[in-house]
Amino acid sequence: MAVSSSKTSISPIEDPHSPYFIHQSDSHASVVINPKLTSANCAFWSRSFLLALAIHNKAGFVDGSIGEPKPTNEMFGYWSRCNNLILAWLFESLSPEIASTVFYMNFA
């Protein structure tokens, strides 16, 4: 008897393996990096933040492997939502002195 395989297409926002998937528990405060970035702890902070991004399957937004799609691309809204979430995580992990210098940054 032959085994039939039928794959149904899952939207990237519903596929937990997709970098565009945002879990219901993900919020601006769901990534906690302590201590916050200062001029004295860049290497420690960087490693901690990159690990947090990898855990949430979002490292590609920061390392350049997931680029910004054109606004006319159907993925643009999903990308924008993820980018904004990562920016919120980033701002939450910075000391006030550093956060004030990058607050108007648009891309993660």
Judge whether residue 2 has pLDDT over 80. no
Residue 108 pLDDT level (bands cut at 50, 70, 90): confident
Q: What is the pLDDT of residue 1?
A: 52
Q: What is the pLDDT of residue 8?
A: 73
Question: How far, in Å, CA of 29 to CA of 45, rounded?
Answer: 16
Judge whether residue 3 has pLDDT over 60. no
Judge whether residue 4 has pLDDT over 60. no
pLDDT (mean) for 13-32? 93
pLDDT (mean) for 24-39? 92
Judge whether residue 15 has pLDDT over 90. yes
Tokens encoding 100:
């004030």
3-state secondary structure 7-64: CCCCCCCCCCCCCCCCCCCCCCCCCCCCCCECCCCHHHHHHHHHHHHHHCCCHHHHHC
Residue 57 pLDDT level (bands cut at 50, 70, 90): very high
Q: What is the pLDDT of residue 105?
A: 87
